[in-house]
A and B are shown apart, each in its own frame.
Chain A
Amino acid sequence: MNRYLQIVAGLAIVAFTAPALAVLNIFATVPEWGALADELGGDKVKVYVATNALQDPHHVEAKPSLIARARNADLVVATGAELEVGWLPLVLLQAGNPKVQPGKPGYLEATHYVPMLEKPVRLDRAEGDVHPGGNPHIQTDPRNIGRVAIPLSARLAELDPANAAHYQARYKAFVERWDAAVANWEKQAAPLRGLPILVQHKAFTYLEAWLGLKQVAALEPKPGVEPTTAHLSEVLATLQRQPVKMVIRAAYQSDRASQWIAERARINAVVLPFTVGGNDAAKDLYGLYEDTILRLLKGAQ
């Protein structure tokens, strides 16, 4: 009897504590934070990315697989600004993991650490899918990746103090390489400054601010509202006065509206990877921005 009790207790201890050892389990809501955690954590972290680049990050379900992964996570890295409002709260409520609840060290929201753009002045669902905290697509500006790297690296060291030196060293190496890469991309993208463009969804606000692109119009009449023919015709009329070279959209978006306008206005329809994994070239964070700029330069010709 005693023996059995010991075995049961032993199994219970293993079951309850085993996953916390070894490496830090990181649950990233979107690919860019997963890639950043990989850069900063190296072999000391195991990263699970909840969504892929071809998924609309606004419309994700609290799938069983997500609950299972959040259950074992030591750190949840989310974008915040209500990008994940439809599923992350539910996943966290069902995961039974107090370490990663909002407010705990195991929960990090990237949008807390970057200056937010497009904070709505009017909060009303009649305005479409508006985010009270501002536009959540901060990853389209690589400088924001650098900004989030600071708290993320600090958080890794806090959760895994034994490897703090490892995280510090990786952070240092990353930030040096990253700053050089950003400077290089800015140089490459210099011809894009002031270039007027169309966007399908208002997903590129930070990219525009970074490279000085000028958004003439969006194909969606309101954020998150499917483009209508009437609205597209209006956009087409706008283009008569303010011609653009290209219309850009994210890899996860349907090509219908972009193609429609591209054919009629004779402009380039450019698909940007939007996040890591958005196309074959965007394998990691570096590839993401390299490819984004290449495609923009090509589209501007």
Chain B
Amino acid sequence: MSRSAGIAGAFALALLLPTAARAATDADLADIREQIRQMKQSYEARIQALEQRVMDAEAKSAHAPPSTAQASGAPGPEAAPAPAPSAPASGINAFNPAISAVLQGVYANLSHDPKQYAINGFVPSGDIAPAKRGFSIAESELGLSANVDDKIYGNLIFSLSPENTVAVEEAYGVYTALPGGLTPKFGRFLSGIGYLNDQHQHVWDFYDAPLPYQAFLGGQFRSDGLQLKWIAPTDTFLEFGAEIGDGASFPGTDRNRNGIGDVAAYAHAGGDIGASHSWRAGLSYLGLRPQDRQYVQADTAGIDAQLGFSGKSQLAIADFVWKYAPNGNAQDTNFKLQGEYFWRRESGDLTYDRDGALGLTRSSNYASRQSGWYVDGVYQFMPHWRVGARYDRLDAGNVDYGANGGYLATSSFDPQRYSVMLDYTPSEFSRFRVQWQQSRIRPDITDNQLFVQYILTLGAHGAHRY
């Protein structure tokens, strides 16, 4: 830098003094460089002296207590805070909420058409397919949050889909003034069940959600309703949560009814073991009553039949996460191991409609017991670089179609998937990831998938979630 500046300076001088330049020899140039260097040094010294004086002046003028040497006796009234930045933000903008945005994009190389993406033997759960082939932007997020008043904190998160639609991802208030470890939340929010469910997709360690999340929750479960969490007054972390909501998202449906559509309850425990280890584990329950949850499934004759389920859907989740960082310092190396187990039981009536019209329509009882799990490990082997591996698996379990059994076949195929990823995080605000996985979620089909992804966050500083 200084050398190129010196040369640039020499050139500038040469331009200004054409006669000198013509006569310039190497020795002259060296001389000029030396002079410029000396000038620079002397200016740097002067600037430093000035900076020091400004610093000293600031230190003296600040309203903080002068020095402990003079502060004697009893603690007086609290020292006035240091003066606020000179010009406070004016009028209408002064109370703007914290704004943050997440930009994402992905390049996907898939050996099978993502439009055909379906998990064999499991009720379709909505939009769970990976990104389209080739380049696309993934979901972008825009978040606004602030304290509403002295008792309520508010948060709004939009998601902007690559198809140019806008969705309200979360929009909730949190009442922060209740004593005794109680925190009520209300509005639309990601449910606190499991470990991964209430984490936004851009903080996941892999590009996509684990298979059990895809199969049993359609990716993530959110509802419009109320949540109450209680933290026990113990040194070990003990958290109990209960939620009620409209239950309109998968595995529920909109029900056009008064009252409660879903009920969730969970307990989480966690703590540290020494300085280097920390953990959290939990049990969760989610119960809903979907009404005429419609989906299409090929029947034994190979015809796409319209099916509708009404009844009871219950899900239980066991989750754990363990993190290791030498002496608690995750900056250089760290390791994270997480896993979750899902059980789902559904029972009720299933309507079978072969052609979706007036033709053959039959209704019968239906019951299913299915499960699934995943486990993944992510290792940061040097600052900014992490590798991870994940295995997920679903158990086809038992599906009883009752009197519809003659038209609908059950499957004993267990879908599974292997994934590996490598990501690079140049700063807290950006991440680049490569993920490869082999997905066997339909019999006889092996889908090799490669994703190259970027995640950028801008605006307000994000939280370091556990």
Contacts and interface: CB of A to CB of B under 8 A. Distances in A.
Interface of A: 15-16, 18-19, 51-52, 54-56, 59-65, 67-69, 71-72, 82, 85-87, 89-90, 93-99, 101, 103, 111-117, 119, 125, 129, 143, 146-147, 149-151, 153-155, 157, 167-168, 171-172, 175, 178-179, 182-183, 209, 214, 224-226, 234, 237-238, 241, 252, 254
Contacts of A96: 178, 180-183, 229-231
Nearest to A88: B463
B237 interface: yes
A252 B329 contact: yes
B66 to A, nearest CB: 9
A54 B328 contact: yes
B68 interface: yes
Given A54-B329, A149-B75, 11 more contacts: A60-B464, A64-B239, A65-B235, A69-B235, A90-B463, A96-B183, A112-B82, A113-B78, A117-B58, A154-B75, A175-B68
Contacts of B458: 125
Chain A at the B interface: mostly helix, strand, loop or mixed?
A: helix
Contacts of B74: 168, 171-172
Contacts of A252: 329, 331
B65 A182 contact: no
B258 interface: no
Contacts of B55: 117, 209
B237 A68 contact: yes
Interface string B315-355: 00000000100011111100000000000000000000000
Interface stretch (B112-120, B267-275, B296-304, B438-446): B267-275
Interface string B189-231: 0000000000000000000000000000000000000000111
Contacts of B85: 119
Contacts of B180: 15-16, 96
B123 to A, nearest CB: 34
B74 to A, nearest CB: 5
Interface in B40-84: 41, 48, 55, 58-59, 62, 64-65, 67-69, 71-79, 81-82
Contact of B233 (A16, A63, A238): A16
16 contacts: A62-B463, A68-B237, A85-B461, A90-B464, A96-B181, A96-B182, A98-B176, A101-B176, A103-B150, A113-B64, A113-B82, A146-B65, A151-B79, A209-B59, A241-B41, A252-B331
Contact of B179 (A69, A98, A214, A226): A98
A63 B68 contact: no
B280 interface: yes
Given A61-B464, A62-B463, A86-B461, A68 B236 contact: yes
A62 B76 CA distance: 35
B73 A172 contact: yes
B264 to A, nearest CB: 17
B36 to A, nearest CB: 13
B62 A115 contact: yes
6 closest Cβ contacts across the A-B interface? A64-B270, A146-B68, A64-B237, A115-B62, A68-B237, A96-B181
B153 interface: yes
Given A125-B458, A154-B76, A167-B75, A65 B427 contact: no
A62 B466 contact: yes
Contact of A113 (B59, B81, B270, B330): B81
A154 B176 contact: no
Contacts of B103: none
Contacts of A209: 55, 59
B213 to A, nearest CB: 21
A95 B231 contact: yes
A86 B429 CA distance: 12
| Most chain B beta-carbon contacts within 10 A, residue among A15, A96, A171, A224 | A96
| Most chain A beta-carbon contacts within 10 A, residue among B3, B68, B71 | B68
Given A87-B464, A96-B231, A112-B82, A64 B271 contact: yes
Given A16-B233, A147-B65, A151-B78, A54 B327 contact: yes
Contacts of A146: 65, 67-68, 71
B177 interface: yes
B405 interface: no
Nearest to B281: A64
Contacts of A97: 179, 181
